[in-house]
Amino acid sequence: MMLLSRPRRRLAITARRLARNVRATVLIEMAFAIPFLVLVGFAGLEIANLALTHTRISQIGLNTADNASRIAAGSNLSLPPIREIDINELFIGAEKQADALDFKRHGRIILSSLERNKDGGQWIHWQRCYGDLAVSSAYGAQGTGKTGTSFPGMGLKGKEVTAAAGTAVMFVEISYDYQPLLYGKWLGARRISTTAAFNIREPRDLDGPKDGDGVYNPSPAATKSAC
């Protein structure tokens, strides 16, 4: 058997010791695993944030429709009208509820008053909007269904919401472009859309001023949130 020189023997002994040494195995495994775990962890946060944003947008729609149904400014001597300032305050409340979502820049609220026309059909009497997102109502603009009975109402086809005679339904459509935390390219563009509807809680002046739609704007006039 060939004898190894002293340096070679030391090298061989060191190599055998390293081969038997497993103390750094966990560190090596963690070095490979940590980037993957970080990736999965942040992806989970993104999905959770998306789900939370869906819930918040849905709640904003419900609250806006509910608050619109409760407007009853006026005296006991006449039916309460709805005013431009009342609608603007609704939208201010929605913006406050959407805190940190930058809703005005990335979202859109469309509030419609669904009523019955003189022919007994459904009619979008007036419509107001808030937010910079370029989205139109999926069911029609203001004035849709003013005459006749061809307009079925607002909502999913076959399940449309309709207004009874002498009352109105406050129908809200909301669209919002989701703003991702980190994984925007991975998720792709996400537009959250939801609807909500509430019947007005008390009798209301549905006729409106003679020279306008169903919304009053007494002095001092408020800015009209036109669509």
Most confident range, picked from 5-9, 127-131, 157-161, 179-183: 127-131
pLDDT tens digit sequence for 20-64? 666 656 666 666 666 766 666 667 788 888 899 999 999 999 999
9 has a pLDDT exceeding 90: no
pLDDT tens digit sequence for 171-199? 999 999 998 887 666 667 789 999 999 99
- The vertex-72 CA angle with 111 and 58, nearest 5°, equals 35
The Cα-based distances of 202 to 62, 64, 197 in angstroms read 18, 17, 15
Q: What are phi and psi of 56, to 5 degrees?
A: -65, -40
Q: How many CB atoms lie within 10 A of CB 183?
A: 16
| pLDDT band for position 2 (cuts 50, 70, 90) | very low
pLDDT tens digit sequence for 65-105? 999 999 876 656 678 889 999 999 999 999 999 988 999 99
11 has a pLDDT exceeding 90: no
Q: What per-residue confidence (pLDDT) applies to 39?
A: 66
Question: Is pLDDT larger for residue 139 or for residue 42?
Answer: 139
Bridge pairing between strands 122-130 and 107-116: antiparallel
The answer to whether residues 210 and 175 touch, using CB atoms and an 8 Å cutoff, is no
Q: What per-residue confidence (pLDDT) applies to 213?
A: 87
Q: Please state the rounded mean pLDDT for residues 188-212.
A: 88
Q: What per-residue confidence (pLDDT) applies to 117?
A: 94
Taking CB atoms within 8 Å and a gap of at least 24, the contacts of 190-194 are 190/50, 192/53, 192/54, 192/57, 194/57, 194/58, 194/61
| pLDDT band for position 121 (cuts 50, 70, 90) | very high
Q: What per-residue confidence (pLDDT) applies to 37?
A: 63
pTM of this prediction?
A: 0.80
132 has a pLDDT exceeding 80: yes
Q: How many CB atoms lie within 10 A of CB 63?
A: 17
